Amino acid sequence: MSPRMRVLLAFTCLAMMTACDDRKRDREIGSSDVVDANIKAPESWIPRNDDIDPAIWLASKGARRPLSADDPTVGRARQAFHAAATRFLESDRMVANRTAQLAEMLAEDGKPEEPAALIERLASVVDPKRGKETYGELCQFYFTLRHGGADRDAALMQLRARYGSSGGSVEKTP
């Protein structure tokens, strides 16, 4: 099986496994202020009923070291989740899990991107006036475009055309 087919199969399996996931916004902040970000997927996914703060978890995973709740990287992740809440159906937990997976796949493909920036960029392509979209779907399209050779800007332009954004960005940094 080609590497591209394995990637598409992995995304399809992940989508099927989480299709029954609740669509509620679980914005509860967990009791843990620091998490271990060095665990590999799938064990490193945030489980359904876990009380870990997704912003701390994702920022720590991206930094590859535990971060505290007051770390600026965690603050940026919180802002990214806030932007995602107005554009995507999934909970913060699911956005964190999908973003971690996407960041890992991009890094393995030689195209590393910071997790909060991924959320911001993908949120920027969705026109919230059209309604919420499925974040996992955008992650899949984005990876497929990047894996196929599109650079970041070209991939985002194609997603904007599909999801109706006029280009207004929620992204804070390049």
Q: Would residue 39 count as lying in a domain?
A: yes
Q: Would residue 132 count as lying in a domain?
A: yes
More confident residue, 11 or 53: 53
In the chain, what is the greatest distance between 2 CA atoms, to the nearest angstrom? Answer: 44
**Residue range(s) defining the domain that contains residue 141:** 3-163
Q: Would residue 156 count as lying in a domain?
A: yes
> Considering its fold, how many domains does the chain have in total?
1
The Cα–Cα gap between 141 and 20 comes to 21
- Tell me the pLDDT tens digit for each residue of 100-158: 999 999 999 999 999 999 999 999 999 989 999 999 999 999 999 999 999 999 999 99
Question: What is the pTM for the complete model shown?
Answer: 0.73
pLDDT for residue 41 is more than 50: no
Which tokens hold the place of 3?
Answer: 């590497």
Give the pLDDT of residue 167.
Answer: 55
Burial (0-12, 13-18, 19+ Cβ within 10 Å), 149:
exposed
Q: Would residue 76 count as lying in a domain?
A: yes
